Amino acid sequence: MRAKLLKIPLAILFLYFIFILIATTLLIKSPVKNEVNLNQIPSYAIKEQHFDQAQLLEDGFTSGQARLKIIEEAKKTIHIAYYKFYEEETTDLMIGAMFKAADRGVNVRFMLDAMTNYLNRDLKRALAAHPNIELKVYEPFQPLRPGTWQNRLHDKLLIVDEQFVITGGRNLGDKYLAESKMDNFVLDRDVLLYRPNIEDSSVIQHIDQYFLTLWDSPFSKQYKPKLSENDKTKEPKREYMTYYDEMNTFQTVFSNPEFDWDKYTIKVDQTRFLANPIERGKKEPIIFTGLNELFKQAQSSIQIQTPYVIPTKEMKSHTAILPNSEVETDIITNSLNSTPNMLAFSGYLNKKGELIKEANRVYEYEGAFSVHGKSILIDDYTSVIGSFNFDSRSTFINTESIVIIEGKEFAEMLQLAFDDIIKESHLVSENGIMKQPAPTKSAGKELFLNILSKLTVPIQSLL
């Protein structure tokens, strides 16, 4: 009898598994519209000159300080969209600063991916209960609609008063922003865009417009605490604000940053913005197509730094990933020793042979942490910084956004940042020829990743 009873939930579980498998296969196999018309995207096919200034935020701690400072200086609006949010020291300070801003009348719109944020329920309630703060989560988990599970918000955007933007590879948490580098610290990269004169035309207007489209999309759901629970919301808010005030009193460096934005940022020739479409399922590969357009125009060099590189057949069918042989191409990514993302690295292992043939040089980072920056440098002039990883998830599945910056001085800063990563990297191959491999620090990890790389082949477009 008991065995019979057990069969029913097992059968349901099995059917559920089959259901998920079918939905996932349908997503992987579904076709993508081929035509992306970049000329119809105003933020990319610009007709006007933008007057933005920019600064590369290579150091995580400085990038955190800059975030805090622009929140502290906010006068009208703070718009936030992030993939991951960890409640830790750096982010507690940002929350404290956000409450302060909301108290002085700033309108705060705070959006996180529904499945990858770690906000606790009390904080969610406290945020949503504030009259000047709105909290949304993107695409909440729907157990009976597996087709929605992959629709993840992967952007990393902080926009203040249509005057400042910080975007790039960093999510919000200590492993990206803290001063002392813990074991899981990641070397990452953001860009700060600054509009010195609010009357001047700026790419920040386009980025803010994209944020508002994301915010108003049917996938973004308002978090509304029940009214009866409102009395529970005061305590967390007080805690965050007290912590923030204490840190200010003790003059800690994180919460007392000094920035003179006019001097801190540099002039650039032009700024552009691209984002993937906001829709479920396979998206038109807008960013990928835009990058390939830039690659086609390259004269001498393309350097790509990405934490994960999995160029699937479907990506290649849309357009060539790497251009002709006259352009020198470098790829800088994580090594087996440094990668914290086993699934993504298993996909890279499958594609490594192809990459070695296509790129002039492949480097793998072998330093103490891992690399997480997502940036491209073309012809020592065009820099690309954003959330886009060089894989199929970023090409077809996730929401993503990038900033394209043209200018020699900014490109020089990015080149120095690449050089620093390369100094701690191992040259895996040059012009198709493999070099002596770097020693593996863990034979167990190597064996595991090699086995995993065989198992993940059917789902490489979702890694």
Ligand X SMILES: O=P(O)(O)OC[C@H](O)CO
Greatest CA separation found in the chain? 78
Per the CB < 8 A criterion, the answer to whether 457 and 351 are in contact is: no
Check residue 398 for interaction with ligand X (CB under 6 A): yes
Check residue 395 for interaction with ligand X (CB under 6 A): no
Minimum CB separation of residue 365 from ligand X in Å reads: 14
* CA 24/CA 462 separation, integer angstroms: 9
138, 170, 284 from 182: Cα distances, Å = 29, 16, 38
Minimum CB separation of residue 67 from ligand X in Å reads: 16
Minimum CB separation of residue 308 from ligand X in Å reads: 7
Minimum CB separation of residue 83 from ligand X in Å reads: 5
User: Is 128 or 462 the residue whose CB approaches ligand X more closely?
Assistant: 462
User: Is 129 or 157 the residue whose CB approaches ligand X more closely?
Assistant: 157
| E strand or H helix at 294 | helix 286-297
User: Is 189 or 237 the residue whose CB approaches ligand X more closely?
Assistant: 189
Nearest residue to 221 (alpha-carbon basis) of 91, 124, 132? 124
* CA 414/CA 204 separation, integer angstroms: 21
Check residue 154 for interaction with ligand X (CB under 6 A): yes
User: Is 255 or 337 the residue whose CB approaches ligand X more closely?
Assistant: 337
Nearest residue to 287 (alpha-carbon basis) of 41, 73, 66, 67? 41
- Compose the 278-297 pattern: x for residues touching ligand X by CB under 6 A, - for all others: --------------------
Question: What number of chain residues touch ligand X (CB under 6 A)?
Answer: 7
User: Per the structure block, which two tokens stand in for 342?
Assistant: 């086993």
Per the CB < 8 A criterion, the answer to whether 41 and 271 are in contact is: no
Minimum CB separation of residue 129 from ligand X in Å reads: 29
Minimum CB separation of residue 388 from ligand X in Å reads: 9
User: Is 74 or 287 the residue whose CB approaches ligand X more closely?
Assistant: 287
Per the CB < 8 A criterion, the answer to whether 148 and 332 are in contact is: no
User: Is 235 or 279 the residue whose CB approaches ligand X more closely?
Assistant: 279
Minimum CB separation of residue 172 from ligand X in Å reads: 11
Give the contacts of 44 (CB within 8 A, at least 6 positions apart).
38, 272, 273, 274, 290, 404
* CA 249/CA 103 separation, integer angstroms: 19
Q: Is 280 helix (H, G, I), strand (E, B) or coil?
A: coil
Give, as ranges, the residues between 160 and 189 that touch ligand X (CB under 6 A).
171
User: Is 344 or 449 the residue whose CB approaches ligand X more closely?
Assistant: 344
Minimum CB separation of residue 218 from ligand X in Å reads: 21
- Compose the 313-352 pattern: x for residues touching ligand X by CB under 6 A, - for all others: -------------------------------x--------
What is the Cβ-side half-sphere exposure of residue 301, based on CA atoms within 13 angstroms?
Answer: 14
Q: Which residue is nearest to ligand X (CB)?
A: 393
User: Is 187 or 411 the residue whose CB approaches ligand X more closely?
Assistant: 187
Nearest residue to 402 (alpha-carbon basis) of 414, 394, 413, 411? 394
User: Is 220 or 429 the residue whose CB approaches ligand X more closely?
Assistant: 220
Minimum CB separation of residue 149 from ligand X in Å reads: 12
**234-249 vs 89-103: helix crossing angle, rounded to 10:** 110
Minimum CB separation of residue 45 from ligand X in Å reads: 27
Which of 393, 407, 411, 425 forms a contact with ligand X (CB under 6 A)? Answer: 393
* DSSP-assigned states of every residue in 388-446: --BSHIIIIISB-EEEEEE-HHHHHHHHHHHHHHHHTEEEEEETTEEPPPPPPS-HHHH
User: Is 109 or 156 the residue whose CB approaches ligand X more closely?
Assistant: 156
Question: Which parts of this chain interact with ligand X (CB under 6 A)?
Answer: 83, 154, 171, 344, 389, 393, 398
